[in-house]
């Protein structure tokens, strides 16, 4: 597929609770290409989880249009949503209990979505073994969930989320309950799955370390993306001793910059943006 | 293969949630077990009841008596009947293995040979050569005894000879003058002073004068076993026994030698003798089982049909009636048992649904996970249903054993243990339990499985929200289904009230299925309605609690006010338990009180003894007694009869058991029924005799001279003693007609014609005077005559006292007797009215000296000639109109109101009376054939019914109206009853005590079973609630760890946190318990009309009144409270046990 895997056009979400109405998203536009690792950051109540729920098909937007892997979630009905769950998306949540069925063994947890989707037994087992191997949990296949460490549980949650081979992985604070060491393991895994497996990842996090590893980071504030923080392509560049910076041509092309740019010092560093007169 | 994986998943799920699902399993097991208990318990209790019914019933009730009555006995027909019975009895042989045969004739008169000398008369007649039609055939005397010929195949075994030997068969053909040998019963021998070797004539009532036989007594016997089946219904002491061969030959005609017969008969034998050959099939009680009782009834009906069709034999058996009554009782008492079980099942079902809902709340997060992993609605439902099926299946496997255990256990628990002796109840199974277990399995599966349906369609986020926030309104409330159900329950209850608990046509009584469902429906719909109301109540309570300063009250108050719905469900569980418990207790108390009331109503007083003359027995010391005469009458002489009780008002009100709702008891006392009736002339104390100066109207002088005879008459009188007994006395000599004379009537108790009576110093009242011809025999009882009374003097220790003036004042001539005061010279004037020819009229001096002369006024009684069947012309005080108190039914039937005067028909006589008052019910009036009851004075009624004396100079006195009942009120009922009955020479007809009758009611196994099931249900309810409350509190504790952590972090001590939590739960439980008690009592009030049904399917008399024993209810509430408080405290122990560091970690999460 050449087009974006995820496309949100002017998505608005209003939560109603009795007479009260709270606007969670106020016209969000988003496009994510296949294989991208996108991170959405923002403060509590900024609308991160709402956006993730909408992309996951768990909530319907109040207005706007959302298309994920060709499924228009704005008008999806029960069967479409089920298909969306089974074929398009996989979920990893912060709390282990939301990811795994506690009374099943590791391999059974991985097999469960496939069982529900009607995958044959041999295929289920093969796929489960493969996923365990990828995540380095092959020795823990027949362990119960409660004896796994936090990192192992989260890796296992990844296995479960990926068991049906979804094209999009939605992760809500996937490292929220992990220490730094285990968080890094999970990041590496996600990164690897994106670059090698062609998986698209949209993660919601507060974790700066994770955001750094993303292809793009979106800052959500009061239900809207902050435009100045919208990162489309990211590269590491060297700063010369004289303060000169060499920007790769593809980066300039992406930013549609030619010969001039305005430099502005912001909180995190120096921000370059197109000069009004530049091309 | 995939299914196996699914199953594995389900099993793992069940195992992982075993703690929570254990509650569901317990509930499901109980529901199925209680459903399985339905047939088992009903059958087991019915089986015991059947056993009791058959064991207690006398032989005459359970045995089959096939009777072939032949108006002219013939051995061939009788033997054919035996063959028919033998062939037909194969149908009932399984229950009736033995057949007893006997042949009994109709009554024969026994004519003594000595007086007159019939053999001598016959010999004289033969010598005179008179024609045969003038033969002196033996005629029965007035005092002739009756007997019946009796024979049986094993006669010798049935008799115990007192004298002589057994009779031999005497072949009439073997002798010219054969004499039948017989053995007679001891009473017959005593009455006729017969000894061995005596001969006596027996003649059938329907036979011709010449058809008689002279028999010879060869033995005197009594039955070897008076209770043996062959004596059933007859008195062996008055029978004449002969061998079967003799019976067959001698009851037919055979040729006789006229020369050898004193009456020159050519043919002899008891001809035209009606005899009955009976075949008694004796029931082996051990063979009667509940399963076979229907077959037994059918077999009896078949047997009856066969013998009637083929042999014209009638079957006399009360067994079908007994079985029918048993069936009715089973239905009547089975209905409440089933209703109670339905209530328990409904309660258990609610518990099950409650537990399923709790379990689902815990599963909500997992359901969200499954949905997120791609599970469809049907897959979610399937997994949950499979889990429910596993639980239901497990419960269905275990439940039959639990059911059998419960039934068996009920035998060890009072009150059933009083019947079983503490051993387990023997479990009977009349119907298969499989359908009930299946139904229970499906019911529990549905109850548990249905809860998933609304959840399965919910989105992931909704399910997640549910896991942290319990549901609000249920589907029942959202669509007002609870209100609809309440309306439906009200309609069903109204319908039931109209139709009654048990319906049916004719004699077949059937159970209305509505009646079983109604209480459960009411309780369930009420519970659902409460689910709507309770949260509001709890919110209000919560608001009040927040007004308190202390944290322990305010915090629970906030919680209750914030989301009261789940608390409402918890309160409802407690509501159901305490509701059922209160209902059960009230029901049991009401039933108990009703048994007592019914017993008191049936027995009247503490003791009621019914026997001939029982009303005159001496009241035991320490007791209060009253004689009662019971008969049948009709107010306003209608054809609709009422029970009539004639009582002594003053004593009656002290003895009778009366309930306030019967009416005003004072109406039955002297206030309503008046003071004692005036019988006549009260004789001075210590009167031992009455001297009567009188003369019969003399024949005239001319008649005397002509030799005309005079009809002699004798004076009789009747006096009433202080107990109301009528004593009849006869003067010591006939009245003279030629001179004034004094006859003496001995008034001592020993001299009474109908005595003897003991003289205990009580007073006597002269009730009637009359005359009778002397001697008796044929002809008029009294000739037309006149009698002059000069004086009547009571003989006392202090000398004679004249009562003549009182007699003239009080008495009137009745039944044609006329009394007038005439000059004392009337008798002598009558004598000289016709003088012999040629005689001179006497001078005045001669008249004065004549023995027939008397100065002053005398009473002249003009006595009309009367035959014996006519009433006796007599002097007495006329009876006065009687007061009657009517019960509501009698008043309704007769249309009489208080104060109205009318004629009452009592014992076939007309009695003038008026309605002194109306009451609702009159104790002991339980005869369903009568329409209502009336009470009146006994002495007054006796005056009306037996005021006229009977002809009695030589014959048997006619019986007069005597009270056949004695009612007692005593402290020691059994002792009083024993001492009263001990005064009787024979067994009383009936001896009732309140305690005995009450025990008879309450010890009926089926009644006991009803109470037992109430207690089992109550126990089960408490266990279920305990489990439910524990599960709820444990779950609530788990759900609110975080909140507790916050409270701890805020500085609350562990115990304070636990206390706030416990207070919150206890307030909810308290509300549920108190409301439950009210609901149970309300349910009982609604169910009360359905309790008004007796064992026979008829309305209870008196109606049951609801009994509320607050002390017992409080005690029950206390027990439940202790159980629940313990459960709450145990469940909240985790709260106080947790360290601050642990709870703070919860807060951080």
Nearest to B555 by CA among B933, B32, B1061: B1061
- The verdict on B705 and B617 lying in the same domain is no
B459–A contact, CB cutoff 8 A: yes
Residue A3 lies in a domain: no
Q: Do B372 and A53 touch (CB under 8 A)?
A: no
Residue B225 lies in a domain: yes
Residue B602 lies in a domain: no
The answer, yes or no, to whether residue A160 has pLDDT greater than 50, is: yes
Q: Using 50, 70 and 90 to split pLDDT, how confident is the model at A151?
A: confident
- The verdict on A48 and A136 lying in the same domain is yes
Q: For chain B, what percent of residues have pLDDT higher than 70?
A: 90
Residue A197 lies in a domain: yes
Q: Using 50, 70 and 90 to split pLDDT, how confident is the model at B963?
A: very high
> Which carries the bigger pLDDT value, residue B893 or residue B501?
B893
Best of A83, A93, A112 to disrupt the B interface (most B CBs within 10 Å) is A112
Q: Do A116 and B379 touch (CB under 8 A)?
A: yes
State residue B869's pLDDT score. 66
State residue B882's pLDDT score. 94
Which among B1, B16, B375 has CB closest to A103?
B16
B4–A contact, CB cutoff 8 A: no
Backbone angles phi, psi at A184, to 5 degrees: -60, -40
Residue A64 lies in a domain: no
β-partners of residue B109 are B146, B203
Residue A28 lies in a domain: no
- The verdict on A98 and A199 lying in the same domain is yes
- The verdict on A128 and A173 lying in the same domain is yes
Distance from CA of A97 to the nearest CA of B (A): 8
Residue A252 lies in a domain: yes
Instruction: Evaluate whether B664 touches B673 at the Cβ level (below 8 Å).
Output: no
- The verdict on B973 and B1056 lying in the same domain is no
Distance from CA of B9 to the nearest CA of A (A): 8
The answer, yes or no, to whether residue B643 has pLDDT greater than 60, is: yes
- The verdict on A200 and A104 lying in the same domain is yes
Using a CB-CB distance cutoff of 8 angstroms, which residues of chain B are in contact with residue A24?
none
Residue A17 lies in a domain: no
Least confident window among B496-500, B610-614, B1038-1042, B1044-1048: B496-500
Taking every pair of Cα atoms in chain B, the longest distance, rounded to a whole number of angstroms, is: 156
d(CA A55, CA A170): 8
Distance from CA of B578 to the nearest CA of A (A): 37
Distance from CA of A117 to the nearest CA of B (A): 7
B6–A contact, CB cutoff 8 A: yes
The answer, yes or no, to whether residue B601 has pLDDT greater than 50, is: yes
Extended strands (E) in B237-304: 239-241, 254-255, 267-268, 275-282
Least confident window among A127-141, B508-522, B529-543: B508-522
- The verdict on A169 and A87 lying in the same domain is yes
d(CA A141, CA A125): 11
Report chain A residues touching chain B, CB-CB < 8 A: 53, 56, 58-59, 78, 82, 85-86, 91, 97-104, 108, 111-113, 115-118, 121, 160, 164
Q: Using 50, 70 and 90 to split pLDDT, how confident is the model at B506?
A: very low
Distance from CA of A4 to the nearest CA of B (A): 24
Interfacial B residues in 353-392 facing A (CB < 8 Å):
365-366, 368-377, 379
- The verdict on A40 and A165 lying in the same domain is yes
Distance from CA of A3 to the nearest CA of B (A): 26
- The verdict on A214 and A104 lying in the same domain is yes
State residue B1145's pLDDT score. 55
Instruction: Evaluate whether B358 touches B1032 at the Cβ level (below 8 Å).
Output: yes
Nearest to B165 by CA among B206, B132, B197, B119: B197
Q: How many domains does chain B have?
A: 5
**For B17, nearest residue in chain A (alpha carbons):** A103
Tell me the mean pLDDT in the region B265-283.
89
The strand pair at B933-937 and B607-610 is best described as unpaired
Residue B1023 lies in a domain: yes
Distance from CA of B1113 to the nearest CA of A (A): 45
- The verdict on B96 and B193 lying in the same domain is no
**For A108, nearest residue in chain B (alpha carbons):** B9
Residue B85 lies in a domain: yes
Using a CB-CB distance cutoff of 8 angstroms, which residues of chain A are in contact with residue B1148?
none
The answer, yes or no, to whether residue B507 has pLDDT greater than 80, is: no
Fill in the DSSP letter of residue B785: E
| Single residue among A209, A229, A249 that ends a domain in this structure | A229
At A120, which CATH number? Answer: 3.40.50.300
Angle of the B481-499 helix axis to the B1054-1091 helix axis, nearest 10: 30
Which among A78, A103, A113 has CB closest to B12?
A103
d(CA B893, CA B895): 6
State residue B647's pLDDT score. 95
Q: How many residue pairs from chains A and B have C-beta atoms closer than 8 A?
A: 59
Residue A242 lies in a domain: yes
Using a CB-CB distance cutoff of 8 angstroms, which residues of chain A are in contact with residue B373?
85, 112-113, 116, 160
Q: Tell me which long-range contacts B565-568 makes (C-beta under 8 A, separation of at least 24).
A: B565/B470, B565/B471, B565/B472, B565/B473, B565/B535, B566/B470, B566/B471, B567/B534, B567/B535, B567/B538, B567/B1068, B568/B530, B568/B531, B568/B534, B568/B535, B568/B538
Length of chain B counted residue by residue: 1149
CA angle B90, B96, B99 (to 5 degrees): 85
**For B460, nearest residue in chain A (alpha carbons):** A58
- The verdict on A158 and A250 lying in the same domain is no
pLDDT digits (tens, 9 = 90+) for B561-592: 777 777 777 787 788 788 888 888 888 888 88
- The verdict on B632 and B564 lying in the same domain is no
Residue labelled with tokens 């069903």: B492
Using a CB-CB distance cutoff of 8 angstroms, which residues of chain A are in contact with residue B376?
82, 116
> Which carries the bigger pLDDT value, residue B1046 or residue B937?
B937
Residue B606 lies in a domain: no
The answer, yes or no, to whether residue A68 has pLDDT greater than 80, is: yes
**For B7, nearest residue in chain A (alpha carbons):** A115
State residue B1140's pLDDT score. 57
State residue B812's pLDDT score. 92
State residue B660's pLDDT score. 92
Q: How many domains does chain A have?
A: 2
Which among B365, B377, B461 has CB closest to A53?
B461
- The verdict on B477 and B585 lying in the same domain is yes
Tell me the mean pLDDT in the region B760-768.
86
Q: Using 50, 70 and 90 to split pLDDT, how confident is the model at A229?
A: very low
Range of the domain at B403: 2-49+324-597+1002-1148
- The verdict on A82 and A161 lying in the same domain is yes
pLDDT digits (tens, 9 = 90+) for A106-135: 998 998 888 888 888 888 899 999 889 888
pLDDT digits (tens, 9 = 90+) for B350-384: 777 777 777 777 778 888 888 888 888 888 888 88
Instruction: Evaluate whether B519 touches B343 at the Cβ level (below 8 Å).
Output: yes
Backbone angles phi, psi at A27, to 5 degrees: 80, 65
| Single residue among B236, B271, B306 that ends a domain in this structure | B271
Residue B279 lies in a domain: no
Tell me the mean pLDDT in the region B9-17.
81
Which among A104, A113, A121 has CB closest to B374?
A113
Tell me the mean pLDDT in the region B510-535.
71
Residue A161 lies in a domain: yes
B929–A contact, CB cutoff 8 A: no
Q: Do B376 and A116 touch (CB under 8 A)?
A: yes
Using a CB-CB distance cutoff of 8 angstroms, which residues of chain B are in contact with residue A108?
9, 12
pLDDT digits (tens, 9 = 90+) for B890-907: 999 999 999 999 999 998
> Which carries the bigger pLDDT value, residue A262 or residue B163?
B163
Distance from CA of B375 to the nearest CA of A (A): 6
Distance from CA of A198 to the nearest CA of B (A): 21
- The verdict on B529 and B499 lying in the same domain is yes
- Give chain B's mean pLDDT: 83
- The verdict on A200 and A277 lying in the same domain is no
- The verdict on A136 and A98 lying in the same domain is yes
Q: Do B375 and A116 touch (CB under 8 A)?
A: yes
Backbone angles phi, psi at B31, to 5 degrees: -60, -50
- The verdict on B526 and B395 lying in the same domain is yes
| Single residue among A229, A249, A271 that ends a domain in this structure | A229
pLDDT digits (tens, 9 = 90+) for B743-759: 999 999 889 988 788 88
Which among B2, B365, B376 has CB closest to A115?
B2
- The verdict on B791 and B654 lying in the same domain is no
- The verdict on A244 and A210 lying in the same domain is no
Least confident window among A226-235, B169-178, B344-353, B572-581: A226-235
Q: Does the reported pTM lie above 0.80? A: no
Which among A78, A108, A117 has CB closest to B374?
A117
State residue B667's pLDDT score. 95
**For A119, nearest residue in chain B (alpha carbons):** B2
Q: Do A82 and B374 touch (CB under 8 A)?
A: yes
Distance from CA of B364 to the nearest CA of A (A): 11
The answer, yes or no, to whether residue A228 has pLDDT greater than 50, is: no
Distance from CA of B564 to the nearest CA of A (A): 18
- The verdict on B147 and B96 lying in the same domain is no
**For A163, nearest residue in chain B (alpha carbons):** B373
Can you tell me the ipTM of this complex?
0.75
- The verdict on B690 and B673 lying in the same domain is no
pLDDT digits (tens, 9 = 90+) for B684-708: 988 999 999 999 999 999 999 888 8
| Single residue among B812, B842, B871 that ends a domain in this structure | B871
Fill in the DSSP letter of residue B262: T
Which among A58, A102, A103 has CB closest to B461?
A58
Using a CB-CB distance cutoff of 8 angstroms, which residues of chain A are in contact with residue B459?
58-59
Range of the domain at A279: 238-279
- The verdict on B694 and B807 lying in the same domain is yes
State residue B334's pLDDT score. 67
| Single residue among B988, B1015, B1033 that ends a domain in this structure | B988
Instruction: Evaluate whether B181 touches B277 at the Cβ level (below 8 Å).
Output: no
């Amino acid at each position: 597929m050449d087009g974006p895997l995820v496309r949100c056009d002017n998505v608005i979400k209003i939560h109603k609770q009795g007479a009260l109405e709270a606007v969670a998203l106020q016209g969000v536009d988003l496009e994510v290409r296949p294989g991208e690792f996108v991170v959405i950051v923002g403060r509590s109540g900024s609308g991160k989880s709402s956006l993730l729920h909408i992309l996951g098909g768990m909530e319907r937007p109040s207005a706007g249009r959302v298309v994920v892997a060709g499924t228009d979630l704005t008008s999806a009905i029960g069967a479409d949503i089920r298909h969306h769950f089974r074929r398009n998306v996989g979920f990893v949540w912060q709390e282990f209990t939301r990811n795994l069925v506690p009374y099943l063994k590791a391999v059974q947890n991985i097999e469960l979505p496939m069982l529900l989707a009607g995958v044959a037994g041999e295929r289920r087992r093969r796929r489960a073994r493969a996923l365990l191997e990828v995540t380095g949990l092959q020795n823990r296949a027949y362990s119960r969930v409660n004896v796994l460490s936090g990192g192992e549980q989260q890796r296992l949650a990844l296995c479960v989320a990926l068991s049906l081979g979804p094209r999009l992985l939605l992760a809500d604070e996937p490292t929220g309950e992990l220490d730094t060491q285990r968080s890094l393991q999970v990041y590496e895994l996600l990164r690897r799955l994106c670059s090698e497996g062609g998986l698209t990842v949209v993660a919601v996090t507060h974790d700066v370390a994770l955001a750094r590893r993303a292809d793009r980071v979106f800052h959500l504030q009061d239900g809207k993306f902050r435009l100045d923080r919208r990162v489309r392509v990211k590269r590491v560049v060297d700063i010369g001793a004289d303060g000169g910076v060499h920007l790769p041509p593809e980066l300039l092309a992406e930013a549609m910059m030619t010969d001039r740019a305005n430099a502005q010092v912001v909180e995190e560093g120096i921000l370059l943006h197109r000069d009004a007169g530049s091309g | 293969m995939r299914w196996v994986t699914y199953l594995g998943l389900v099993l793992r799920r069940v195992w992982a949630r075993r703690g929570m699902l254990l509650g569901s399993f317990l509930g499901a097991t109980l529901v199925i077990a209680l459903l399985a208990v339905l047939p088992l318990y009903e059958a087991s209790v019915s089986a015991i009841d059947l056993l009791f019914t058959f064991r207690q019933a006398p032989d005459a009730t359970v045995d089959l008596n096939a009777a072939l009555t032949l108006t002219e006995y013939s051995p061939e027909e009788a033997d054919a009947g035996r063959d028919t019975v033998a062939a037909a009895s194969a149908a009932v042989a399984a229950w009736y293995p033995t057949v007893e045969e006997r042949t009994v004739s109709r009554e024969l008169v026994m004519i003594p040979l000595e007086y007159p000398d019939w053999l001598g008369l016959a010999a004289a007649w033969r010598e005179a050569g008179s024609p045969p039609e003038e033969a002196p055939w033996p005629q029965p005397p007035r005092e002739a005894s009756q007997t019946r010929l009796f024979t049986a195949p094993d006669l010798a075994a049935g008799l115990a000879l007192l004298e002589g030997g057994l009779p031999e068969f005497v072949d009439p053909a073997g002798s010219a003058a054969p004499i039948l040998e017989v053995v007679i019963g001891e009473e017959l021998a005593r009455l006729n002073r017969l000894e061995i070797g005596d001969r006596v004539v027996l003649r059938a009532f329907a036979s011709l004068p010449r058809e008689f036989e002279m028999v010879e007594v060869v033995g005197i016997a009594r039955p070897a076993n008076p209770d043996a089946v062959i004596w059933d219904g007859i008195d062996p002491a008055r029978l004449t026994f002969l061998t079967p061969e003799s019976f067959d030959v001698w009851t037919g005609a055979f040729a006789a030698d006229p020369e050898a017969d004193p009456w020159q008969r050519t043919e002899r034998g008891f001809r035209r003798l009606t005899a009955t050959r009976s075949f008694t099939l004796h029931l082996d009680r051990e063979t009667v089982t509940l399963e076979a009782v229907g077959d037994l009834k059918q077999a009896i009906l078949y047997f009856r049909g066969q013998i009637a069709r083929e042999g014209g034999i009638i079957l006399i058996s009360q067994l079908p009636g007994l079985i029918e009554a048993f069936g009715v009782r089973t239905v009547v008492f089975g209905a409440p048992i089933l209703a109670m079980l339905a209530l328990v099942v409904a309660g258990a079902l609610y518990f099950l649904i409650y537990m399923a809902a709790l379990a689902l709340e815990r599963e909500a997060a997992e359901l969200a996970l499954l949905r997120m992993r791609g599970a469809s609605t049907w897959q979610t439902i399937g997994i949950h249903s499979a889990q429910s099926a596993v639980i239901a299946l497990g419960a269905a496997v275990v439940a039959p054993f639990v059911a059998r255990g419960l039934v068996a256990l009920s035998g060890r628990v009072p009150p059933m243990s009083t019947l079983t002796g503490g051993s387990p109840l023997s479990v009977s199974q009349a119907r298969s339990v499989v359908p009930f277990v299946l139904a229970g399995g499906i019911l529990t599966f549905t109850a548990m499985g249905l809860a998933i349906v609304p959840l399965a369609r919910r989105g992931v986020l909704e399910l997640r929200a549910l896991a942290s926030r319990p549901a609000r309104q249920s589907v029942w409330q959202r669509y007002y289904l609870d209100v609809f159900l309440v309306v439906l329950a009200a309609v069903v209850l109204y319908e039931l009230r109209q139709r009654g608990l048990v319906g049916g046509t004719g004699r077949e009584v059937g159970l209305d299925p509505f009646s079983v469902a109604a209480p459960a429906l009411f309780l369930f719909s009420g519970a659902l309605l409460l689910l709507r109301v309770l949260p509001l109540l709890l919110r209000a309570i919560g608001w009040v609690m927040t007004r308190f300063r202390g944290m322990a009250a305010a915090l629970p108050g906030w919680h209750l006010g914030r989301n009261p719905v789940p608390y409402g469900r918890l309160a409802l569980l407690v509501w159901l338990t305490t509701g059922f418990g209160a209902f059960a207790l009230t029901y049991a108390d009401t039933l108990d009180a009703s048994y007592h009331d019914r017993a008191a109503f049936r027995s009247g007083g503490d003791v009621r003894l019914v026997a001939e003359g029982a009303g005159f027995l001496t009241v035991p010391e320490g007791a209060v007694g009253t004689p009662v005469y019971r008969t049948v009458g009709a107010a306003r002489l209608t054809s609709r009869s009422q029970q009539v009780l004639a009582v002594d008002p003053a004593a009656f009100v002290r003895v009778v058991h009366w309930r306030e709702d019967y009416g005003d008891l004072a109406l039955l006392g002297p206030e309503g029924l008046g003071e004692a009736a005036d019988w006549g002339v009260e004789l001075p104390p210590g009167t031992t005799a009455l001297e009567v100066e009188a003369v019969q109207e003399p024949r005239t002088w001319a008649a005397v001279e002509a030799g005309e005879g005079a009809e002699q008459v004798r004076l009789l009188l009747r006096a009433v003693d202080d107990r109301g007994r009528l004593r009849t006395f006869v003067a010591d000599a006939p009245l003279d007609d030629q001179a004034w004379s004094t006859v003496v009537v001995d008034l001592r108790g020993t001299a009474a014609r109908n005595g003897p009576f003991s003289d205990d110093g009580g007073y006597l009242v002269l009730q009637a005077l009359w005359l009778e011809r002397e001697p008796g025999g044929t002809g008029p009882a009294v000739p037309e005559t006149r009698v002059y009374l000069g004086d009547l003097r009571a003989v006392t220790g202090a000398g004679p006292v004249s009562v003549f003036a009182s007699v003239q004042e009080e008495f009137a001539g009745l039944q044609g007797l006329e009394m007038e005061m005439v000059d004392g010279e009337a008798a002598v004037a009558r004598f000289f009215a016709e003088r012999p020819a040629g005689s001179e009229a006497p001078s005045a001096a001669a008249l004065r000296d004549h023995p027939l002369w008397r100065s002053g006024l005398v009473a002249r009684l003009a006595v009309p000639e009367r035959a014996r069947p006519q009433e006796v012309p007599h002097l007495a005080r006329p009876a006065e109109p009687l007061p009657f108190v009517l019960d509501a039914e009698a008043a309704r039937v007769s249309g009489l109101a208080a104060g109205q005067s009318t004629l009452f028909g009592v014992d076939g006589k007309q009695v003038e009376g008026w309605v002194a008052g109306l009451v609702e019910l009159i104790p002991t009036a339980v005869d369903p054939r009568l329409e209502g009851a009336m009470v009146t004075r006994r002495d007054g009624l006796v005056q009306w019914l037996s005021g006229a004396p009977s002809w009695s100079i030589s014959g048997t006195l006619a019986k007069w109206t005597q009270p056949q009942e004695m009612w007692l009120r005593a402290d020691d009922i059994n002792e009083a009853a024993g001492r009263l009955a001990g005064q009787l020479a024979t067994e009383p007809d009936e001896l009732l005590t309140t305690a005995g009758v009450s025990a008879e009611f309450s010890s009926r196994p089926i009644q006991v079973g009803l109470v037992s099931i109430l207690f089992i249900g109550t126990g089960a309810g408490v266990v279920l609630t305990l489990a439910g409350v524990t599960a709820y509190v444990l779950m609530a504790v788990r759900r609110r760890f975080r909140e507790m952590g916050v409270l701890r972090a805020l500085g609350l001590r562990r115990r304070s946190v636990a206390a706030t939590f416990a207070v919150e739960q206890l307030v909810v439980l308290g509300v549920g318990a108190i409301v439950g008690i009210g609901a149970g009592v309300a349910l009982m009030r609604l169910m009360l009309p359905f309790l008004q049904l007796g064992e026979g399917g008829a309305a209870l008399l008196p109606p049951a009144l609801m009994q509320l024993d607050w002390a017992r209810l409080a005690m029950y509430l206390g027990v439940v409270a202790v159980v629940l408080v313990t459960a709450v405290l145990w469940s909240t122990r985790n709260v106080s046990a947790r360290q601050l560091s642990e709870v703070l970690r919860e807060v951080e999460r």
